[in-house]
Chains A and B, each alone.
Chain A
Amino acid sequence: MRWREKGSKIWVVSRGILPLFLFLGLTAGVAWSDNSMCLGCHQDESLKKQDARGKSTSLFVSETGFKNSVHGSLSCSDCHTRIKDDAHAEGGKKAADRRVDCEVCHEKAAKEYQQGLHSKMIMKGTERAAYCNDCHGKHNILPSKDPKSMTNVANIAKTCERCHSDVEFVKAHALGAAIPKEEFKRSVHGQTGDVTCINCHGSHSLRSLIDPKSTIFRSNIPQTCGSCHSEITKEFIESVHGVLAARGRADSPTCTTCHGIHGIKAKIDPDSPVNERRIAKTTCPQCHAAERISKEYALTASQVKSYYDTFHGLSYRGGDTYSANCASCHGVHDIRSASDPKSMIYKDNLQKTCGSCHPGASENFAKGKMHSVASISGEDFGEKVVGWVRIVYILLIVGVIGGLTFFNFMDWLRRTIDRAH
């Protein structure tokens, strides 16, 4: 603990020199440019003050920390512009206005910050809203390129998590849900090491989820993701989902609906919602088997159920990944309506779509209803026939098996009784 030894030395020295400087300062009436004057007192680790509520705040400033910081060449009073009041130094008793105005130098960042969510929270008087120093630190601010900096790409997640993974904080500030710690770190983005919170949320100008200018506002999400995944966004915004999402349909999916949010996993990860084992089990059915959405858009509610009843669906549910799932026929990001000539399931494209798994699929192969539900009152002729076949067979099974069971049961009964006598 070198600084402590050093500090104590200075403490001793300051006892003698301090009054002299004080005197000089008073007479000269200028701001102190030498930090040793301030550090003389604030070097003391035990220097504390009690605020109005009786909460104790440390007033300690590490000299080495400050010297190594990006602001190391500045003097205390460059930032602490409100402590010009010389009375502060007199015995260090008087409470000083220690507020710092970063805006004086960092004009652009401050302007962005003023528009952002964190500053708004300040205006609403939230207790622990993020000030500059909450993310950047105080005296020990390091340039973002420094691996030790709080705002280095490797540390930002940790910096944000101090508040946003804190369940108590999140509850107190009504932020919805706390982001589980390490959730992002384990995600495919977290593991690259190049992507972090600010890439999607923005930094100074970070905005609320409900702010239409926010990068994470519903209809802006494709653009936000597209800043890296531009080709996919291009495909998506033309898809039926993308068009509806752009028009503000809250129930139309955007990137995060299928891929997840903070914990996005690679497609091959079995936990990923877009893993081929899950896509037709949970990901598409989360909307397409939901009554609310089927009703609103007048979709037939039976797409998922009818798929599950086909050979494709039955085999898929048994874990067969060669069997077609939703995306095999409908596409992934560029899903389009069946009436769209560019759609994979447009009537002229079906032969090609089926043919990608069934080589030699004829023109006739691609005709006929796919998501059919057997029912004697069905719209399709085939559905009716299958419905009748089912009824006839069920009657046959019940009749035949019931008859055979009855016959054999009586036979068994008589033989058993005969043997008993």
Chain B
Amino acid sequence: MTKKYLRMTLNERFQHLNLFINFTILVITGFALSYSTAFWVSPISDLPLGMTFRGFLHRLCGVATVTLGGYHLLYLAFTARGRGIIKDMIPGLKDAKDLWETLKNNLYINRPAKELKMPRFNFREKLEYLGLIWGTIVMTVTGFILWFKTEWLQFFPMWTWDVARAIHFYEAILATLTIIVWHFYSVIFNPDVYPMSWAWITGNLTEHEMKEEHGLELEKIKAQEKGELKEFGEAAAVGGGRVYPLPVSRERPFSLRRLVGSVKDLNETMKDWKGV
């Protein structure tokens, strides 16, 4: 069995699932308005009050997404792992170089192809994550303007509302296409991960995937593991909130001898225990 590396904690997987569901519903209910006569809208528009329900659902999921965004900000700020994510997410010159070299590799300009070692979040992921933040901010602001038109139009002229509507529409196209072209390539259509990267369900990446996409991070973890062995106790904190290796031997078959041994060990420990 190959070694696995935790990529997404359960909490993060739930955040991803939440965003996945809300984003999908937002895309469907949103474009169902823009293209209300399209064939695929008929399940909505044929329902009595279908379009009214569509609007309600769109706003509901919008609020859910904004709430999720708020939660994510708290998660980033108040957990060690979250702060680690921020630190590793800051784009640098290395990311631009990685992108450039990847392109050169892909176009066979680099011959032989340069082996790239990328950090915990490679340039693809940074681009996407930052794009997601940007898109969420734009969609939230314009979405609330569109929703609370009476309040907005007390202070601003009508054309600002029209601008908000145009931005909301085009940003939606941009966001949807980005997810399809960029995200779906990374996690589905990339030949090395096809049919799918299972990290969003299992939370783990394989060593091969780590090597391919996050070579630098893998080296770091391995060095740390060695360090952990050498200087036991000092670098014990689980990778400073970083990706950490999982214990390999989870699925050892049950043995009576081991159970008896464990109980003996426990008894020994308790015998010598002197209190806190």
Interface size on A, residues (CB 8 A): 48
A365 is contacted by which of B41, B153, B167, B170 (Cβ under 8 Å)? B153
Chain A residues with Cβ below 8 Å from B191 are 412, 415-416, 419
User: Using an 8 Å CB-CB cutoff, how does the interface string of A363-402 with B read, 1 for contact, 0 for none?
Assistant: 0110111101010000011110110011001101100110
Q: Is A251's CB within 8 Å of the partner chain B?
A: no
User: Using an 8 Å CB-CB cutoff, how does the interface string of B152-183 with A read, 1 for contact, 0 for none?
Assistant: 01111111101101110011011001100110
A364 touches B173 (CB 8 A): no
B106 touches A413 (CB 8 A): yes
CB of A357 to closest CB in B, whole Å = 11
- Determine the distance from Cα of A406 to Cα of B44 in the docked complex, in whole angstroms: 35
Interface segment, one of A124-132, A316-324, A335-343: A316-324
Interface residues of B in 14-71 (CB under 8 A from A): 32-34, 36-37, 41, 44-46, 50-52, 54-55
Q: Would A358 and B171 be within 8 Å (CB), given that A368-B158, A405-B181, A415-B190 are in contact?
A: no
B181 touches A389 (CB 8 A): no
16 of the cross-chain contacts (CB-CB < 8 Å) are A315-B36, A318-B44, A319-B50, A358-B150, A368-B158, A368-B159, A372-B162, A382-B160, A382-B162, A382-B163, A390-B170, A393-B166, A408-B185, A412-B191, A414-B113, A416-B191
Q: Would A364 and B153 be within 8 Å (CB), given that A319-B45, A389-B170, A412-B185 are in contact?
A: yes
Q: How many A-B residue pairs have CB under 8 A?
A: 135
- Determine the distance from Cα of A132 to Cα of B167 in the docked complex, in whole angstroms: 72
- Determine the distance from Cα of A381 to Cα of B105 in the docked complex, in whole angstroms: 48
CB of B125 to closest CB in A, whole Å = 14
Q: Is B102's CB within 8 Å of the partner chain A?
A: yes
CB of A191 to closest CB in B, whole Å = 26
Chain A residues with Cβ below 8 Å from B50 are 318-320
- Determine the distance from Cα of A389 to Cα of B142 in the docked complex, in whole angstroms: 13
Interface residues of A in 275-319 (CB under 8 A from B): 311, 314-315, 317-319
Closest to A401 in B: B177
- Determine the distance from Cα of A419 to Cα of B191 in the docked complex, in whole angstroms: 9
A415 is contacted by which of B54, B146, B192 (Cβ under 8 Å)? B192
Chain B binding surface SS class: helix
Q: Is A260's CB within 8 Å of the partner chain B?
A: no
- Determine the distance from Cα of A306 to Cα of B253 in the docked complex, in whole angstroms: 71
CB of A385 to closest CB in B, whole Å = 6
Chain A binding surface SS class: helix
B55 is contacted by which of A315, A317, A364, A401 (Cβ under 8 Å)? A315
Chain B contact residues, CB within 8 Å of chain A: 32-34, 36-37, 41, 44-46, 50-52, 54-55, 102-103, 105-108, 113, 146, 149-150, 153-160, 162-163, 165-167, 170-171, 173-174, 177-178, 181-182, 185, 189-192
B41 touches A393 (CB 8 A): no
B153 touches A396 (CB 8 A): no
Q: Is A411's CB within 8 Å of the partner chain B?
A: yes
Most interface-central of B46, B113, B177 (chain A CB within 10 A) = B177
Q: Is A410's CB within 8 Å of the partner chain B?
A: yes
Chain B residues with Cβ below 8 Å from A405 are 181
B165 is contacted by which of A311, A320, A414 (Cβ under 8 Å)? A311
B174 touches A318 (CB 8 A): no
Q: Is A356's CB within 8 Å of the partner chain B?
A: no
- Determine the distance from Cα of A385 to Cα of B33 in the docked complex, in whole angstroms: 23
- Determine the distance from Cα of A383 to Cα of B157 in the docked complex, in whole angstroms: 12
- Determine the distance from Cα of A320 to Cα of B52 in the docked complex, in whole angstroms: 7
